[in-house]
Structure 1
Amino acid sequence: MFFHRKKWSLLIALALILLISAVGYSALGDRTLSRGSRGPEVVDLQKRLSMLGYVTGPQDGIFGRKTNAAVRLFQKEHGLTVDGMAGTNTIRELKRLTGTTTSSGGTSVGLKNSDIDLLAHLVSGEARGEPYRGQIAVAAVVLNRIDSRSFPNSVSDIVYQPGAFSCVDDGQLYRNPTSSSYRAVYEALAGTDPSYGAIYFFNPSKTSNRFIWSRSQILQIGNHIFAR
């Protein structure tokens, strides 16, 4: 009788360990997260939101007020139902923008963290105060230049190419970037391109440069005209 009782106790303990392990390592998206949720999925959620510039508070695995507010703002800016809950659609969009997995050594979207930081500085310096869609378009222009044979093939070489961007010359590049500029960069890296393939942009009220005016204009977003 004692042997059977001990055997069943061991089996129950093993089952509990397996259950705890399964819960502890569940992936982001396995369940809907909301106020009061806790665990590693919430940490992952907080990391992804933070990568995009949303303020979640400490990445402690506790879905509190600040995380809820960050989720709501993310949903509002991406056309999702604003309910403050990280469900299927919200998680899918977060993963689209930040990659399938998160890591501390770099990003899953092909650029180093230093490249993303520099690109966010450029977007902020060139498009501070512009519509969010226009900020994404500015980031997309840089990525389009990387893909073009007519330009250097790295973020830093493009940003610091002489005369390429006014924010480098007037020092705006070196100001602290806005949180929306980081979000715009990740959106562009995920494939969003409101500029429709543009490799130039300019403010028509601030330039008389003949070359830039000679380019084929695509559209205007805010104060910027985007062109090929």
Structure 2
Amino acid sequence: MHTKETQAESPLQTGDQGEHVFQVQEKLTLMGYLDTAPTGYFGPLTEEAVRGLQQDFLLPVTGVAGAETLYQLDEVEKMAKIVHGEARGESYEGQVAVAAVIKNRLHSPEFPSTIDGVLFQTNAFTALMDGQYYLTPDYVAYHAVKDAWRGWDPSYGAVYYYNPEIATSSWIFENTTPKHTIGSHLFAE
């Protein structure tokens, strides 16, 4: 993912408290980095959780939730919303494959090079068109994003996927090459 210093908030670190700390802790809990209920207090457990996230997403490991870390948390949440909206009910492998498609698009010259660009490209994801993007992603969706980001790609490099039983766009059938199926999704290039 592209890490940019886009958030103007002050870094969050040990001793800080408040609503923003609580929100960060909620995301860290959903991602499996924090094994306690959010409290709004940034203590040693939150610092350790931030370090884990930073390590997994190749950020400087400081334990401080600065601009890059907060940006990364937001990017992961956006991807998890797509995975949840598009693939909840599919196997874990199928959910990781959907996350991998997003990552593959980031690295393809045929697609935008930012998460927002990929996710919000016109007609790219049904979950955005039908409102499922706005559902709260579950633990599984966050983990699928994390595993895809760590390099697991059950889509085998696919940049498209669709359910051939319900897809209505002729474009997807005429302009992609199917690779393989996981659950109800056909992954294609």
Mapping for residues 1-228 of structure 1, pairs under 5 Å: 50=29, 52-53=31-32, 56-58=35-37, 97=56, 99=58, 101=61, 102-105=63-66, 112-214=72-174, 215-228=176-189
How far did 1:138 drift? Answer: 0.6
Alignment deviations for residues 134-173 of structure 1 (CA, whole Å, 9 cap, x no partner): 1111111011111111111111111111111110010000
Which amino acid counterpart does residue 176 of structure 1 have in structure 2?
T
Moved over 3 A (4+): 58-62, 93-103
Larger proportion of helix? 1
> What is the Cα-based RMSD across aligned positions, in Å?
3.0
Report how far residue 180 of structure 1 moved. 0.6
Residues 1:183 and 1:56: Cα distance change in structure 2 (over 3 Å): same
Kindly state the Cα deviation for residue 178 of structure 1 after the two structures are TM-superposed: 1.1
User: Please, which runs of 5 or more residues in structure 1 have no aligned partner?
Assistant: 1-45, 63-92
Q: TM-score, normalised by structure 2?
A: 0.68
Higher relative contact order (CA 8 A, sep 6+): 2
SS at match of 1:213: helix
In structure 1, how many angstroms separate the alpha carbons of the residues matched to 2:107 and 2:169? 25
Structure 2 runs not aligned, ≥5 long: 1-24, 46-51
Residue of structure 1 equivalent to 2:8: none
- 1:212 positional shift: 1.3
Q: Write the distance in 1 (CA, Å) between the matches of 2:95 and 2:67.
A: 23
Question: Identity of aligned pairs, percent?
Answer: 37
TM-score with structure 1 length normalisation?
0.57
Do the aligned partners of 1:51 and 1:98 also contact (CA within 8 Å) in 2? no
Deviations 1:86-128 (A, max 9, x none): xxxxxxx9997455835423667xx622111111101100011
- Aligned-residue offset at 1:210: 2.4
Q: Count residues with an aligned counterpart.
A: 151
